[in-house]
Chain A
Amino acid sequence: MITIEWYKQFRRPLTYATLSIVAAFSVILTVALVATGSGQTEFVGDLPLLIVPRTSGFSVPIIALSSTMKFFLPLAVSLFAGQSVAGDAAWGSLRYAMARPMSRSRILWSKATVAAGLSLLAVAISVLAALVIGGLAFGWHPLSVIDGSTSTPGHPQVDVVRVGALLGHLGIAALYVGAGMASIFAVAFFLSTTTRRPLVAVAGGVAVTIVSRIFNADYLPGVQVMNRFMPNNDIDLWQHLLTRSASLSGIPHFLVLQAAYVVVFMGLAQLWFTRKDILD
């Protein structure tokens, strides 16, 4: 069942287009860095953390993940999750899928599994493509990181992170960002079971991302109380892995939050889909 769904999704141009755009982003980023100033220092997210892209190819996946995790990756995830059930409904083929001798739950969960697999693939491609292209452009060298929080004027605190440690950090970062997409995935997937217009479900996932960005205390300090419960706000905590005084205390809370979103919205999807009058 999962295999059938997997093949079906993989034959769609949308899947290829989305995954290629995610990969292409890394290429464009690398070209832009090479063309414009790979010798200049770049901040990592909002942290007082500086890297010089030219010194190591590992800077590219760090920059790529930092710039895609707040919009492009949520968009790709919303596309995969939002399309999965509503896409069939839009084609009018959902009722034929239901005619197969299988429970609705099983159909729903195989669709969810495939959409989740594609979403994780998007995150993995984002990191791997950047790692390969960045490495080709700048070499797989140890990365020098300037930690602004422990530096004093005239005495920058430069840490050199070894290749093995970098690979480990990137692996953890990819897993963390992948886990952080779960809330957006669950919302878009739930909406996908409620509508026959894939656009609505995809837009719902994107809307959750945008609302999360608006209620982000980094940009609007007054909404501090909401910040902890927004699905996409703490997605940047992995960047602390590169700092000397790694403050990773927010990570467990964020992962629990993701699990809560998944339980609520996947539960609603299950409830809705098993009771729905399917006409498309």
Chain B
Amino acid sequence: MIGIELVKQLRRNGYWAVLGSLAAIAAVVTVIIATTSAATPERLGNYGSVIPNSSGFTMAAIALNALLLFLIPLSVAIFAGESVAGEASWGSLRYILARPTSRNRVLASKVAVAGILSLAAVLIVSVAGLLFGVAAFGWHPLSVIDLQHASPFSSGVTTLSPFAALGRIVFATAIVAGVMVSTFSFAILCSVLTDRPFAAVAGGVLLTFVSRALDNVPGLHALGPWLPITDKGSGLWTEVLFQPTDLGGLPHLAIVQVVYAITFLGAAGLYFNRKDILS
């Protein structure tokens, strides 16, 4: 069932276009930085700073940082929003349900495939950044400046050996993927609620915007830790690259994402099981 779904989705051009443009943008950013301003420091998240030509690993982090705000959430919303509503808009959803499998299983396999593709979207950004970065700047130790802890007494520089840097980039990518869980779940819920993929994708994107807007209203700071996407949560992955690593916010972030996932996916499951499917 999951295999069928995956093959079906991978045959569609839209998915390759999304993944391809993510990799292409990582490539273009690397080429431009390598040719014009390889020694200019780049910011990572709220406090990090790296010099691109010091190591190829910087490009993986710069690519993640540049695409995290819009393009990765948009890709996740596209994969999740298309999953059920895409089928409904083709009018083939009712034929799928005619197969002798439960609706839960159909939905679960669709969610699993959308999840794999969303994970691929996050992965491709850091993998492409890493490949192009190493090709341009080489396999060297990664130095990251922690501007929050830089002071006259400490330079705030963390230097990681290539393999340690690789491990930490993998960990950082996993945290970025984790932050996308709430967006993903909400787009799945929207996808079940509507027959129009556009509305479902827009719903997922809207969640990130509303959440970020609320996060930035000065009087609503108490709300911050409970919102699905915040500046703080989105910037947490840069902590992985710092020494000492302050991952105190990670358990809370994980719990919030899991609670949103259970709520939205649970609602999607309930609705999909009871829905009168006409398309």
Contacts and interface: CB of A to CB of B under 8 A. Distances in A.
Interface of A: 32, 35-37, 40, 71, 198-199, 202, 207, 210-211, 213-215, 219-226
A222 B217 contact: no
Contact of A219 (B38, B66, B198): B66
Contacts of B33: 222-223
Contacts of B36: 222-225
A53 to B, nearest CB: 11
A32 B223 CA distance: 14
B25 to A, nearest CB: 6
Interface string B34-67: 0011101111000000001000000000100011
B258 to A, nearest CB: 28
A222 B70 contact: no
Contact of A221 (B21, B40, B198): B40
Contacts of A225: 32, 36-37
Contacts of B40: 221-222, 224
B198 A214 contact: no
Q: 10 tightest A-B contacts by CB?
A: A36-B219, A222-B33, A199-B198, A210-B70, A222-B37, A225-B36, A37-B219, A221-B40, A37-B218, A223-B32
Interface of B: 21, 25, 28-29, 32-33, 36-38, 40-43, 52, 62, 66-67, 69-71, 74, 197-198, 209, 217-220
B70 A214 contact: yes
Contacts of B69: 213
Given A71-B209, A222-B29, A223-B29, A213 B70 contact: yes
A212 to B, nearest CB: 10
B5 to A, nearest CB: 22
A222 B25 contact: no
B71 to A, nearest CB: 6
Given A210-B71, A219-B66, 7 more contacts: A36-B220, A210-B74, A214-B71, A222-B37, A222-B52, A223-B29, A226-B32
B156 to A, nearest CB: 19
B42 A220 contact: yes
Contacts of B218: 36-37, 40
B209 A220 contact: no
Contacts of B52: 222
Contacts of B219: 32, 35-37
A224 B29 CA distance: 11
Contacts of B197: 199
Contacts of A224: 36-37, 40
Given A32-B217, A35-B219, A210-B74, A221 B66 contact: no
Contacts of A32: 217, 219
A225 to B, nearest CB: 5
A222 B40 CA distance: 6
A90 B132 CA distance: 40
A221 B32 contact: no
Contact of B29 (A202, A213, A220): A220
A85 to B, nearest CB: 17
A209 B258 CA distance: 31
21 contacts: A35-B219, A36-B218, A36-B219, A36-B220, A71-B209, A210-B71, A211-B25, A213-B69, A214-B29, A214-B66, A215-B28, A219-B66, A220-B29, A221-B40, A221-B42, A222-B33, A222-B42, A223-B32, A224-B36, A225-B32, A225-B36
